[in-house]
Structure 1
Amino acid sequence: MARRKKLYEGKAKILYEGPEPGTIVQYFKDDATAFNAEKRDVIEGKGVLNNRLSEFFMKGLNNIGVPTHFIRRLNMREQLVRAVEIVPLEIIVRNFAAGSMAKRLGLEEGTQLPRPIVEFSYKNDELGDPLVPEEYIIAFGWASQQDLDDIVALALRVNDFMSGMMMGVGIKLVDFKIEVGRVWEGDYQRLLVADEISPDSCRLWDIETGQKLDKDVFRRDLGSLTDAYTEVARRLGVMPGNVSQASKPTLIN
């Protein structure tokens, strides 16, 4: 079997050339990083969980007409996605104050915001992904005003979908980040939700107890990251309901 061509390796995923033109194979690693990779570890089973959870969310978005790059899952760690031109921004949607926003504004973590707030950060690890205003984005040509309007609309639709789904299983969607990619169909450009949606890219708190079920468990040394992600998967029905703990995830095909 020919060796696959690696296109890119990031902190949590590896991208390989896909089997058909215009496709990419996205491989989910077990690596966990925080504080711009200053803290890192390998968490057994994390990549498997994120692959399955991201598949679950992306398929759900596709089903309600929110376009994503997801095509299909290939195996426990890989999925086939559309090749897109990534807009060099992280789009952050916040429903409650937490993390850097709480620190910047002196807000108590968990304070409900008057409405969902959309922020943009420039994707650059060396600079620490700094927050940028819309004026910077347009001036430097990273996206047009129309792109930004469409991206905000897309992000808020994702927020509505994710918030409702999480609330239904007793989880509060505090905030999340997504990436957006461009594809062209003739002269027509479409924007798609790309990268991943998983507990790596969301803040998820138990509604009753406030228990963290996201990467803050790793950032703040709050226990087992695998157990936290497994609990999210169990509540959403991605894992069998009779599994109480799983260091090596057992997932439904």
Structure 2
Amino acid sequence: MARRRKLYEGKAKVLYEGPEPGTLIQYFKDDATAFNNQKKGVITGKGVLNNRISEFLMTRLSEIGVPTHFMRRLNMREQLVREVEIIPIEIVVRNVAAGSLAERFGLEEGTILPRSIIEYYYKSDELGSPMVTEEHITAFGWAGTQDLDDMVALALRINDFLIGLFLGVGLRLVDFKLEFGRLYNEHDEIQVVVADEISPDNCRLWDIRTNEKMDKDRFRRDLGGVEEAYQEVARRLGVLPEAGPMDLKGPQAMQ
């Protein structure tokens, strides 16, 4: 097998040079991290499940006209995606008080927010991904005003769509994180598109009846049953891989 050139390795994924100009291969790892990389572990099969879940959600978003970097799934752990210039801002959309929001403002976890709240975080592991304001973002040149307008409009549209989609399978979308990139076409026109992934790694999903956590909080809080929770989300979405538990552990990514 020909060796591929690795371009970037993050906490949960590896990016390789794609087969055609302007494309990348996105490989999903089983590695798990929390608390700005202070806690590390492995969730067996997570990469396979997140690949399927993200493929499903990105495809649904494309069908309603939301632009994404996703092109197609290649195999159990890899996707073909468009190469984009990543905007170093993470947008978090919150519908229910949980995690750091509940801690910062002394809210009881599970409190329904009066409206969806959008927060901005500077994408930097070294700095702990600090929360920032629009003033920081535009002053430091991380994104322009038009970029931010596009990102917020897309985030709210995605939130409305995903709330309904997850509700239909008995899950509450508590909050989620989005990343965006700039896609340049042949005329050097720029389009802001959804990048990275959408999965239980970056969504808080609770069972609508029991409030049982079905996401990476099970890893963060040592609740156990992490693999089973990811599998249950995939099962409800109808994308559980046709493989047994022993088949979900993948090989090491090629260097």
Mapping of residues 184-199 of structure 1, within 5 Å: 184-185=184-185, 186-199=187-200
1:235 is matched with 236
Task: Output the CA distance in 2 between the equivalents of 1:162 and 1:184.
Answer: 27
1:95 is matched with 95
1:57 is matched with 57
1:202 is matched with 203
1:76 is matched with 76
- 1:145 Cα deviation after fit: 1.1
Task: Output the CA distance in 2 between the equivalents of 1:248 and 1:204.
Answer: 25
Task: Output the CA distance in 1 between the equivalents of 2:63 and 2:208.
Answer: 26
Q: Are residues 1:118 and 2:118 paired?
A: yes
> Deviation per CA, 1:33-78, whole angstroms, max 9, x where unpaired?
1111111111211100000000000000011100000000000000
Higher relative contact order (CA 8 A, sep 6+): 2
- 1:2 Cα deviation after fit: 2.7
The alignment's TM-score, normalised by the length of structure 2, stands at 0.94
1:158 is matched with 158
Partner SS state of residue 126, structure 1: coil
Q: Are residues 1:42 and 2:42 paired?
A: yes
Give the percent of matched residue pairs that are identical in Structure 1 and Structure 2.
Answer: 69
**8 A contact 1:230–1:249 mirrored in 2:** no
The alignment's TM-score, normalised by the length of structure 1, stands at 0.95
Task: Output the CA distance in 1 between the equivalents of 2:112 and 2:171.
Answer: 15
**8 A contact 2:49–2:241 mirrored in 1:** no
**8 A contact 1:17–1:23 mirrored in 2:** yes
2:145 is matched with 145
Can you give the 5+ residue segments of structure 2 that lack an aligned partner in the other structure?
Answer: 250-255
> Deviation per CA, 1:162-186, whole angstroms, max 9, x where unpaired?
1110000110000000100001221
**8 A contact 1:44–1:248 mirrored in 2:** no
**8 A contact 1:162–1:173 mirrored in 2:** yes
**8 A contact 1:227–1:246 mirrored in 2:** no
- 1:246 Cα deviation after fit: 4.7
The change in CA–CA distance for 1:240 and 1:23 in structure 2 (over 3 A counts) is closer
> Deviation per CA, 1:136-191, whole angstroms, max 9, x where unpaired?
00000111111111110000111011111000011000000010000122132100
Task: Output the CA distance in 1 between the equivalents of 2:238 and 2:158.
Answer: 20
- 1:249 Cα deviation after fit: 5.0
Task: Output the CA distance in 1 between the equivalents of 2:248 and 2:96.
Answer: 30
2:86 is matched with 86
Partner SS state of residue 126, structure 2: helix
